[in-house]
Amino acid sequence: MGKPTLLILAAGMASRYGSLKQVDSFGPHGETIVDYSIYDAIQAGFGKVVFIIRKEFEDVMREKFDAKLAGKIEVDYAFQDFDLKKFGVDREIERTKPWGTAHAVMSAKDLIHEPFCVINADDFYGTDSFVKMASFLQNEVRDDHMALMGFQVGNTMSDYGYVSRGVCEVSAEGNMTSVTERTNIYYVTDDSGNRKIVYEENGVQHDLPADARVSMNFWGFTPKVFEIALEMFPKFVEENGDNPKAEFFIPSVPDYMVKHGIADFKVIPTSSKWFGVTYPEDKPIVQESISRLLVEGVYPQKLF
């Protein structure tokens, strides 16, 4: 099987962060977080990277990435916008934000024809994750057998506010049985003074064990996922067209595929520690984490 593709979700406006974190500097030579992901992907054997961006970001992204990646990996761009007709929806709906992460993935359907993985631009996943995903995509993946990287939710939290995670149920065989997007996960202190993790749904708090497996939007797919998402999306728009905050999230597509017997999803264990930036206060923590990896020799001082 040929080299897989890395699909990077980089169209978000980063409202909680306060600036365009996709191009913010975290390494000693101005490296972005996604530079480390691309470096890991190249080392692991990926052959192409596709950025999902908004059209207005194109000049900034090309200036940041094209020259330094030239000759190292093929680079392309897909644009997430408000045109629903290209996804089979003959309506115009006024929104301030696009339709979410699964909608973003569909935007790359004409550029990807091989196994691929999806990641967030602002999340650091670690070398082990890319090595294992590349191996899966080159040796195991099928239209009826895909994958995700599973992280423990306790290793993915921010001390500065809520986070969104796809919470997974995992079978004894190591396959995902369901994944539910939880958009309000945060720490609280109970009556005994102990800190615990909860998620909020309809104004009610529910406990979430620290070792619960969550998706950090690191998925291994074949192009079959485009076909399924395109089938699901018109119904989603029909049901949610009047809700300006409704989003078509990636986990809803694998969840549908599992429940309808279309594919199973292997939960790949990884020793990598996830970290990312949601709030400005997260930045020095991420910079410190990267500095430690540089000292340990995991990455060169200058990536490209």
Q: Give the residue, 1 or 224, on which the prediction is more confident.
A: 224
Highest average pLDDT, of 23-32, 37-46, 54-63, 244-253, comes from 37-46
Residue 219 pLDDT: 96
For the chain, the C-alpha Rg in angstroms (whole number) is: 19
- Average confidence (pLDDT) over 242-270: 91
Compute the distance between CA of residue 133 and CA of residue 147 in angstroms, rounded to an integer: 8
* Mean predicted lDDT score pLDDT of the chain: 90
Return the structure tokens found at 125.
């996943």
Residue 120 pLDDT: 92
Residue 279 pLDDT: 75
Residue 2 pLDDT: 82
Residue 80 pLDDT: 93
Residue 13 has pLDDT above 80, yes or no: no
Residue 190 pLDDT: 85
pLDDT digits (tens, 9 = 90+) for 134-161: 999 999 999 999 999 998 898 888 888 8
Residue 16 pLDDT: 43
Closest CA to 271 of 155, 147, 170: 155
- Average confidence (pLDDT) over 120-135: 93
Closest CA to 146 of 104, 116, 173: 116
Percent residues over pLDDT 70 in the chain: 96
- Is 170 within 8 Å of 267 (Cβ atoms)? yes
Residue 206 pLDDT: 94
Residue 89 pLDDT: 83
Computed from CA positions of residues 253, 259, 262, 264, in that sequence, does the dihedral angle turn out positive or negative?
Answer: positive
Compute the distance between CA of residue 214 and CA of residue 152 in angstroms, rounded to an integer: 6
Kindly list the domain boundaries of the chain, sorted by start residue.
5-146+215-247+271-295
Return the structure tokens found at 18.
């306060």
Return the structure tokens found at 158.
């921010």
Residue 35 has pLDDT above 60, yes or no: yes
If you ran DSSP here, which 8-state letter would residue 159 be given? T
Q: Give the residue, 196 or 274, on which the prediction is more confident.
A: 196
Percent residues over pLDDT 90 in the chain: 59
pLDDT bin (cut points 50, 70, 90) of residue 18 is: very low
Highest average pLDDT, of 86-90, 104-108, 165-169, comes from 104-108
- Is 165 within 8 Å of 215 (Cβ atoms)? yes
Residue 46 has pLDDT above 60, yes or no: yes
Q: What is the dihedral of CA 215, 233, 185, 262, to 10 degrees?
A: -40
Q: Give the residue, 180 or 301, on which the prediction is more confident.
A: 301
Q: Whose structure tokens read 């049985």? A: 177
Q: Whose structure tokens read 């992907």? A: 41
Compute the distance between CA of residue 266 and CA of residue 117 in angstroms, rounded to an integer: 13
Residue 20 pLDDT: 61
Residue 15 pLDDT: 45
CATH number, span 5-146+215-247+271-295:
3.90.550.10
Put residue 243 in one of left, alpha, beta given phi > 0 → left and psi -120 to 50 → alpha.
beta
Residue 71 pLDDT: 95
Closest CA to 168 of 266, 72, 261: 266
